[in-house]
Amino acid sequence: MSPPGSFERLLGAREIVVTCGSGGVGKTTTAAAAAACAAARLGGRVLVLTVDPARRLANALGLEGIGNAERRVPDRAFVDAGVQPTGELWAAMLDTKQSWDALVRRHAPDDATRDQILANPLYRNISGRFVQSHDYIAMERLFELHSSGAYDLIVVDTPPSRNALDFLDAPERMAEFFSSRLLRWLIVPYRSKLVNLASKPFYQVADRVLGSQFLSDIAEFFILFQSMYDGFVERSRAVERLLADRRTTFVIVSTLEAAPAREAEVFAAELRRRRLHLGAMVLNKVLPDYLLDDSGAQVAERLVRDYLWLAEALATTMPEVDGELLARVLHTIGQSFSHFRVVAQRESEQRSELARVPDVLVSVPYFDTDVYDLAGLLRLGERLWV
Ligand SMILES: Nc1ncnc2c1ncn2[C@@H]1O[C@H](COP(=O)(O)OP(=O)(O)O)[C@@H](O)[C@H]1O
Ligand SMILES: [Mg+2]
């Protein structure tokens, strides 16, 4: 285990913390919990940029249905959770469509081009679903929020992708896309005003099949988008530099199940290869240590072996309970304990494997309930801090 307070030191020393890991391991929850605790204990203005908060969590952070805007979580919410915050907690959600529109507004060479792009049916259709658009826009938005200088610390959640590394490549891919031959090749015939699209048999057929405006919409879209090329590429590079900057650190979140743990290792190796800073690894939903105690195992074995006799002994204190049922429950409890113990042992091996990787390693237990409000986040945050 890491020395106490190392997670706190990490957050205190950085301006951007990117949480990453496989889907479902608790990335979003951990990002929100780390930010909430940082606001409560470290002070300053702390922003958590979430991507896909569960509905109840979004509610708790005041994010329901507000698009891209950042919202301050009121101090009252902290006080209700029994904490007097020293700083401010802000929360924002990623709205892909709004972020794309903002990007177009920034990079369009003039107002007419901007309006044409925003009104282009193809753009409107795909800006929410563009390949990699989620990944790219998350990084883009991070860049924008960081540049604003409004926050001392930004904790970023990452989108659930097939591959946990996708968002790292998103800026590069976006730059590649804009400089790609494919794109240039696609728009060459449309560039020249001399070419009359409607006169070409292929386009005539295509437009008849796809709807009359379809191809011209595509052409217009790509030509207009090309006008933003320089801005986009420059920006992608800036985002990449920010991720590699000393002020940025990555926190890998994983459970100790085989698949996510494996992916966490791959991710750590990849961060190293790219010279990105791995600040901490958070092992989430970890089974309690007492399952590893031999004495606990002995109790469980006894339950399984002597359940009939033990049920008889208990029956006098629980006269209202059916004796046979009591015996069965005891037996099942003993067995379940042993099953959990096997899993806990496997987890403990995984943990020692993973412990070799980062400077800071923290374990967070599997709580009885989902983590969906500020009190829950602060409770989880406590476990990151110790
Ligand atoms: N330590 C924990 N104990 C209990 N439930 C947890 C814990 N961490 C996360 N959860 C719950 O697990 C679910 C998935 O968490 P989430 O943060 O959305 O995962 P991800 O962002 O990695 O997909 C949520 O319902 C959350 O409340
Ligand atoms: Mg998530």
Is the beta carbon of 55 within 6 A of some atom in ligand 1?
A: no
Measured from the alpha carbon of residue 51, the closest ligand is 2
CA of 18 from ligand 2 middle (Å) equals: 12
- Contact between 322 and 330 under an 8 Å Cβ cutoff? The reply is no
Sheet holding 360-365, edge to edge: 71-73, 88-93, 45-50, 153-156, 16-20, 248-254, 278-286, 360-365
Q: What is the pLDDT of residue 182?
A: 65
Structure tokens at 78: 């902290």
Tell me the CA–centroid distance for residue 78 and ligand 2, in Å.
23
Cα–Cα distance, 83 to 22 (Å, whole number): 31
Instruction: Tell which phi-psi region holds residue 47, choosing left (phi > 0), alpha (psi between -120 and 50) or beta.
Output: beta
Ligand 1 atom nearest to 253, measured from its CA: 22
Residues 317 and 200 in one domain: no
* Residue 360 resides in a domain: no
What's the 29 CA to ligand 2 centre distance in angstroms? 7
Kindly give the distance from the C-alpha atom of residue 254 to the centroid of ligand 1, in angstroms, as a whole number: 11
Considering the domain architecture, whether residues 122 and 163 belong to the same structural domain is answered as yes
Q: What is the CATH number of the domain that holds 230?
A: 3.40.50.300
Atom of ligand 1 nearest to the CA of 51: 21
62 and 179 within one domain = yes
Q: Is residue 358 part of a domain?
A: no
- Give the model's pLDDT for residue 19: 94
Runs of H (alpha helix) within the chain: 6-13, 27-37, 55-60, 75-80, 96-107, 111-119, 121-126, 133-147, 166-179, 181-191, 201-210, 214-226, 229-244, 258-273, 294-315, 323-355, 374-385
- Ligand 1 atom with the shortest distance to the CA of 32: 17
Ligand 1 centroid – CA 54 distance (Å) = 9
Atom of ligand 1 nearest to the CA of 30: 17
Domain carrying residue 308: 291-346
Do 106 and 215 share a domain, yes or no?
Answer: yes
Angle at 331 between CA 325 and CA 335, to 5 degrees: 145
For ligand 1, atom 12: residue with the closest CA: 26
89 neighbors 72 (Cβ within 8 angstroms)? yes
Does residue 67 have its Cβ closer than 6 Å to ligand 1?
no
Atom number of ligand 1 nearest to Cα 22: 22
How does pLDDT run along the chain (386 residues), one tens digit per residue? 566 669 999 999 999 999 999 989 999 999 999 999 999 999 999 999 988 888 888 888 888 777 788 999 999 999 999 999 999 999 998 888 888 888 889 889 899 999 998 988 878 777 666 545 677 888 888 999 999 999 999 999 987 766 667 778 887 877 777 776 666 666 665 555 445 555 566 656 666 666 656 666 777 777 777 778 778 788 888 988 999 999 999 999 999 999 999 999 999 999 999 999 999 999 999 999 899 999 999 999 999 999 999 999 998 998 899 999 999 999 999 999 999 999 999 999 988 888 888 889 999 999 998 898 999 999 999 999 97
Is 355 inside a domain boundary?
A: no
Let me know whether 18 and 41 are in one domain: yes
353 lies in some domain? no
For the CA of 371, the closest atom of ligand 1 is: 27
Same domain, 97 and 229: yes
Closest CA to 251 of 9, 16, 49: 16
At 156, phi and psi to the nearest 5?
-110, 130
Q: From CA 14, how far away is CA 155, in angstroms rounded?
A: 10
Does residue 359 sit within a domain?
A: no
Asked if residue 284 has its Cβ within 6 Å of ligand 1, the reply is yes
Which pLDDT value is given to residue 322? 92
Is the beta carbon of 26 within 6 A of some atom in ligand 1? yes
Structure confidence at residue 82 (pLDDT):
94
Q: What is the pTM of this model?
A: 0.84
What is the phi-psi region of residue 14: left when phi exceeds 0, alpha when psi lies from -120 to 50, beta otherwise? beta
Quick one: pLDDT at residue 168?
83
User: HSE-up of 42 (CA within 13 Å, CB side)?
Assistant: 29
**Is there an atom of ligand 1 within 6 Å of 54 CB?**
yes
324 lies in some domain: yes
CB of 370 closer than 6 angstroms to any ligand 1 atom: yes
What pLDDT was estimated at residue 49? Answer: 94
- If we measure between CA atoms, which residue out of 105, 156, 145 comes closest to residue 127? 105
Check if 50 has its Cβ closer than 6 Å to any atom of ligand 1: no
Q: Are residues 24 and 67 in the same domain?
A: yes
Distance 164 CA to ligand 2 centre (A): 11
Please tell me whether residues 378 and 336 are part of one structural domain: no
Mutate which of 370, 372, 384 to test ligand 1's pocket (most atoms within 8 Å of Cβ)?
A: 370
Sign of the dihedral defined by the CA atoms of residues 138, 140, 145, 146, in that order = positive
Is the minimum distance from the CB of 288 to ligand 1 under 6 angstroms? no
Q: Are residues 279 and 299 in the same domain?
A: no
In a domain, 311, yes or no: yes
Q: Residue 273 corresponds to which amino acid? A: R
What are the angstrom distances between the C-alpha of 207 and each of 65, 197, 214, 298, 363? 38, 10, 6, 76, 58
Same domain (yes/no): 13, 32? yes
- Residue 50 is given by DSSP the state E
Do 206 and 108 belong together in one domain? yes
Nearest to 377 by CA among 89, 64, 182: 89
pLDDT for the residue numbered 212: 55
Distance separating alpha carbons of residues 98 and 138, to the nearest angstrom: 12
Residue 237: per-residue pLDDT: 87
Q: Number of structural domains, the chain?
A: 2
Residue 292's Cβ-count burial label (10 Å; 0-12, 13-18, 19+) is middle
* Span from the CA of 252 to the centroid of ligand 1 (angstroms): 14
Statement to judge: residues 231 and 336 lie in one domain: no
Q: What is the DSSP letter of 365?
A: E
Residue 351 lies inside a defined structural domain of this protein: no
